[in-house]
Chain A
Amino acid sequence: MEAEADHTLKLRRALDHLQWLSDYEREWFRGDSHHSVRVTQTELDLGGLRGPYGFPLYQFEAWVRAEPPPTYPFALVIGECLHNMRSALDLLAYELAVANVYPQPVSEDVKEASEFPIIGDESAKGIPGMGAGIFRDNALPRKIRGVNPSAHAPIEAVQPYIDGTAFREHPLWRLHQLDRISKHRLLHTVVAFVEDAGFSLTRSKNFSGAAYPTPYPGIVHNERETKVASIGGGPMWDEEMVVVIKPTLSVCFAPDTPDADTAPVVPLLADVYRYITDNVLPWLEALL
């Protein structure tokens, strides 16, 4: 059996962490232990206009309180997931350098400088349009100088600066930034976020109205209720009316997180993972 490459193992570890985060998020918001939904009902004053069954029309609003998943261990696992993905790329760059000189050993200076470059389109002083120059002057002669020149183009093709001013939304840039922060500065704090809202057909009774609630995506807090969705309608017959709105809760990076402000955690990390497996590995593993 062929041994798996180090970068593959690191990616697998990242995937384990990602799966854990996804499961934990789902469990956290399952049931109502960590969040509550209250639906208010207000009769609409439509100047005598009534619903299709002759009953008054109402506006239903869903208000949510939610605890974010605890920093420990959620934020820690985010950091480890990021770090393992970043390490996988660095290991890949090193493996390319090893393959390039095999069976000779890699020189010490190539070893020391080896790193998978992730370059945005700004200089350290914030001057835009500098990415290509930084790649040429920094990455090529230093970080990936030990790799075969045929790998230069595939590595350049996945650089965030290729996206120009939109480089901050590039999956690898987000990986680079978020990992750097988690490693050296701060833990990534997370908040509960409502992305969407649905209407429970099985638990609602005697309701006729809009098919879907209108969601108000945003952060929800534990200290105060936040309106997350609304739906209009009225009863079909003269009995108690029950309207159950089900918000879709997820975990997002806290506001002001650089380049991931309120971005949902699991989809963002999954996006980075997929980008690496779909856009980086196929081109570069062929050179190993």
Chain B
Amino acid sequence: MFPLPLPSWRYKVRRAKEHLEALDHAVKWFTETGAYKRRHEFQAEPPKYLFVVESVSPVPLQIPLMVGDYVGNLRAALDHMWTAVLDHLDLPVTNRTQFPIFQREPKGKDGLRVWSQQIGGVPGNIETIVKGLQPYKRGKDAVAHPLFYLNELVRRDKHRELSLMVVRSSGPVIDGREMLVRPPLKRLEPGTVLHEIGQAEILASGMTDPNVAVNFYDMPEIGFEKPAAVEGLEVVTTLRLVGLEVAKVLDTLAPFYEPHAPYRDWMKKGDATPGF
């Protein structure tokens, strides 16, 4: 193989960023050009305004494919980096070598075997750093860790379905003022009541006249429908978080894979503290 000017994972990350940018544009285009249609109803008894979804457009097929390419590049960046770490340590790279992402602490014969196959026998101090980056370190919140999202998205994209849905997250606007409370993301389907605004809400907004103009500020977004790990989460923001986490891992491990790193001897000894 010919040497590359930059480490390969940097190219993978750069490519992932391009996909995210394209994805962001595609999502904005879709959500701003009629992701759904709604109607406005007034109900007399008890008096309230209803905003109801009439129809929802399907999410363009191109968008989940972009998500697939994005997460594929990020996962590959981690694996390329980890291969370089092993190479610098003159450790063998096998078919099972990869940067480990574990939702649960590896325990038992099988768990420890898989962990050691993936991590590839690096010195204990590096292993400690990698363990510190694992989702399971967050305990029960491991399932909300961006690396766990990444793992799930890659697995789902490669082996199974990855589907998206139209969601919305904005609040009502009363007399031009947006209410501060943002409701949770909600799946949109025909007949979904986007919001109900009653007199109490109008008065709570500071308006003394209950007949004040009431409107609903549209801000549809695209969220994940599957996999379950990210269900209901807004796509672009979630993927951005995943990208930031991957960058954090690459930064944390940089001393161990950069060519000519001054830590090489230290890595081999594996008994000192790195200078960062």
Contacts and interface: CB of A to CB of B under 8 A. Distances in A.
Interface of A: 4, 6, 9-10, 12-13, 71-73, 75-76, 79-80, 83-84, 86-87, 90-91, 94, 111, 114-115, 124, 180, 182-187, 189, 191, 254, 256-257
B83 interface: yes
Q: Chain B interface secondary structure, helix, strand, loop or mixed? A: helix
A185 B2 contact: no
A71 B1 contact: no
Contact of B79 (A71, A124, A183, A191): A183
* Central interface residue in B2, B11, B97, B158, by most chain A CB within 10 Å: B158
Interface string B130-165: 000000000000000000000000000111111000
30 contacts: A4-B61, A6-B161, A9-B61, A12-B65, A72-B14, A73-B18, A76-B15, A80-B69, A84-B65, A84-B68, A84-B69, A86-B158, A87-B158, A91-B159, A91-B161, A114-B159, A115-B159, A183-B72, A183-B79, A184-B80, A185-B80, A185-B83, A186-B8, A186-B80, A187-B4, A187-B8, A187-B11, A187-B80, A189-B4, A256-B1
A94 B158 CA distance: 10
Given A90-B158, A185-B79, 13 more contacts: A9-B64, A9-B65, A12-B65, A76-B11, A79-B73, A80-B69, A87-B158, A114-B160, A184-B98, A186-B80, A187-B8, A256-B1, A257-B1
B197 interface: no
B104 to A, nearest CB: 15
The 5 closest A-B pairs by CB, nearest first: A187-B8, A76-B15, A184-B79, A189-B2, A13-B65
Nearest to A257: B1
A209 to B, nearest CB: 37
Contacts of B97: 184
Contact of A71 (B4, B80, B162): B4
* Central interface residue in B2, B4, B83, by most chain A CB within 10 Å: B2
A13 B69 contact: yes
A6 B159 CA distance: 10
A115 B160 CA distance: 10
B225 to A, nearest CB: 13
B272 to A, nearest CB: 29
Nearest to B2: A189
Interface of B: 1-2, 4-5, 8, 11-12, 14-15, 18, 61, 64-65, 68-69, 72-73, 75-76, 79-80, 83, 93, 95, 97-98, 157-162
A115 B155 CA distance: 11
Contacts of A91: 158-161
Contacts of B69: 13, 80, 83-84
A280 B36 CA distance: 39
A76 B4 contact: no
Contact of B5 (A4, A71, A90): A71
Contacts of A79: 12, 73, 76
B11 A186 contact: no
B159 to A, nearest CB: 5
Contacts of B98: 184
Contact of A111 (B14, B18, B159, B162): B159
A80 B75 CA distance: 12
A87 B4 contact: no
Nearest to A68: B2
A94 B15 contact: no
A253 B159 CA distance: 28
Contact of B83 (A72, A86, A184): A184
Contact of A184 (B76, B157, B160): B76
A20 to B, nearest CB: 12
A73 B15 contact: yes
Nearest to A70: B5
A76 B159 contact: no
* Central interface residue in B12, B61, B65, B93, by most chain A CB within 10 Å: B65
A94 B159 contact: yes
Nearest to A253: B1
A254 B161 CA distance: 35
B157 A72 contact: no
Nearest to A116: B159
